[in-house]
Structure 1
Amino acid sequence: MHNLRWLGLTLLLLHATAEAHLFKVFAYAEGNTIHGSVYFAGGNAVENAEITVKGKASDKPVSLTSNRKGEFQYSATTPDDYLIQANTGDGHQAEWLIKAEAFSPTATTANPTTPASSDSHSKRFEKSDQQLASLVEQAVAKQIGPLRESLQRNHDRARFSDILGGIGFIFGIAGIALWWRSKQANR
């Protein structure tokens, strides 16, 4: 019985330790800029994490470092699938993939400072529509990106129901072990 208590306590502590060291990276595209952050489950930011950004079409990965808030930025030259890998240097690693579709299609092609050509009234409106669409997409990405990050961080946290489930699992294992031990003692 004494050994069983130690086993239960050890399992409980191991579970808490594993949750505390769950390393995460999150990133999103806003226009042609990738914004991201690195953190441990529970929300603690990771300063000076090594960030590697590699585009599918690019041969050379780019190295970045997270700031004291665990944030980083990268200006993408072209819309591409980008794999973001984060490493704390002490064995914690995480990665995140941003698909090319996440980038604004007009972010690298539309230039709001370029005047519209005067040879056609419809071309002028078409260019204005592209510029407006680009501005709207960038504004929406600016608002939605941080919301998605907040949801992701909240999802990564251990919930009270998760903790109760873990404790119930431990008691279930202990009950099975005690039942088995009483069966063996009766024989």
Structure 2
Amino acid sequence: MKTRIILTALLLSFAASVGAHGLSIFAQYDGTEISGKAYYSDQTPAAETYVEAVRTGETEPAVYGKTDKQGAFRLPIRENADFSVNIEGMEGHKATAKVNRIESAVNSGAVSNEAVLALREDINRLKDKLYFHDILGGIGYIFGLAGMVAWLRSRQSKGKD
């Protein structure tokens, strides 16, 4: 029994590296280009990764390209349409973002496009970041399930006696 507990604890200690590999993307379309950034869940940029923009309702890409070393991309296109931006990372990871043409203070020059993009990047990084309370919640969930299994087994063993 001790061996089983030690082996389970050892395997659970390596579980964090298994889930640290999601791909995220955010993008915006200002009427002249679709720009954005792609990164993995551990906040490393998705460098040199294929990215495409597909018009809503179509299957062929309207424009495509690659991300730079920081995971940023710019796809020049001048159309009044909605797009779906798709990115394909290593090991089959994929992410999609829907983008609509933005009509706001960005186009009037009151706020720069780069400032809005930086703000969206900060928001997405905070949203995708793994927080300590998420880890504690996951551990509590595991202990809760283990407690339910133990309770069910104790009820079954009492029924046999």
Normalising by structure 1, report the TM-score: 0.70
CA distance in 2: counterparts of 1:52 and 1:37, whole angstroms: 13
Structure 2: segments with no counterpart, 5+ residues: none
Instruction: State the distance in 2 between where 1:83 and 1:134 align.
Output: 21
Partner residue, 1:80:
81
**Count of aligned residue pairs for this structure pair:** 157
Instruction: Report the equivalent of 1:95.
Output: 96
Deviation at 1:25, TM superposition (A): 1.0
Deviation at 1:94, TM superposition (A): 0.4
Q: In the aligned structure 2, how far is the partner of 1:133 from the partner of 1:174?
A: 52
Quick check: 2:29–2:99 contact (8 Å CA) kept in 1?
A: yes
1:48-105 alpha-carbon deviations (Å, 9 max, x no partner): 11101123487851221111111110122123101110001421000111013x256x
2:23 corresponds to 1:23: yes
Please state how far the C-alpha of 1:6 moved relative to its aligned partner.
5.1
The match for 1:153 is 125
1:12, 1:167 within 8 Å by CA — same for their partners in 2?
Answer: no
Tell me the amino acid that sits aligned with residue 39 of structure 1.
Y
Out of 108, 115, 125, which is 1:143 matched to? 115
**1:141: how far off?**
3.5
User: 2-side partners of 1:89 and 1:142: how far apart?
Assistant: 28
Cα distance in 2, alignment partners of residues 88 and 133 from structure 1: 30
The answer as to whether partners of 2:106 and 2:112 remain within 8 angstroms in 1 is no
**In the aligned structure 2, how far is the partner of 1:56 from the partner of 1:182?**
55
What is residue 180 of structure 1 aligned with on the other side? 152
Residue aligned with 1:146, SS: helix
Q: Is the 8 A contact 1:8 1:170 kept in 2?
A: no
Q: Decide whether the 8 Å contact of 1:8 with 1:174 is kept in 2.
A: no
| Letter paired with 1:63 | Y
What are the superposed Cα offsets for residues 146-173 of structure 1, whole Å, 9 maximum, x if unpaired? 1112111110111111100000011111
What is the TM-score of this pair, normalised by structure 2? 0.80
Q: Is the 8 A contact 1:32 1:79 kept in 2?
A: no
Q: Quick one: which amino acid aligns to residue 94 of structure 2?
A: Q
**Structure 2 CA distance for partners of 1:96 and 1:77, relative to 1, 3 Å:** same
| Structure ranking higher in strand proportion | 2
Q: Which whole-Å CA distance do the structure 2 matches of 1:16 and 1:177 have between them? A: 26
* Whole-Å separation in 1 of the counterparts to 2:95 and 2:51: 10
Q: CA RMSD in A?
A: 2.9
Could you say what secondary structure the match of 1:47 adopts?
coil
- The percent identity for this pair of structures is 27
Distance 1:38 1:17 in 2: 20
